[in-house]
Structure 1
Amino acid sequence: MGAVGYARVSTDGQTLDAQVAELMAAGADPIFREKVTGARLDRAQLHMALGAPSGR
């Protein structure tokens, strides 16, 4: 069974590519992604990741 992955960057100028590649290599499934500052508490993808079953 794989782990749930979560990739986040703070600004539009940054890319999620390296994080997603590492999560895929580690067998994460699903992988949730978002571009939002860490200071915000309303991170929808993080909340979905925390409630997601692993190993889909």
Structure 2
Amino acid sequence: MKAKYSEKDTRGFLFVDCSECTKGGNGNKSCSSGWLKEKGNQGGCFCGALLDGLEVK
């Protein structure tokens, strides 16, 4: 399934939205800044990993 909020920037690096991250609000909630973010467009970072089943084209 395609990720709705995560995308690659102009340099090709993956920006992972907190709601679609393995450590964010819908993952295992182990990120100190993203564990409360369950809805999209509330934050993100370049060091996260997408949840299983999501992909960015």
TM-score, normalised to structure 1, is: 0.27
Structure number with the bigger relative contact order (C-alpha 8 A, sep ≥ 6) is 1
Structure showing greater radius of gyration is: 1
* TM-score for the superposition, normalised by structure 2: 0.27
Q: Which has the higher helix share?
A: 1
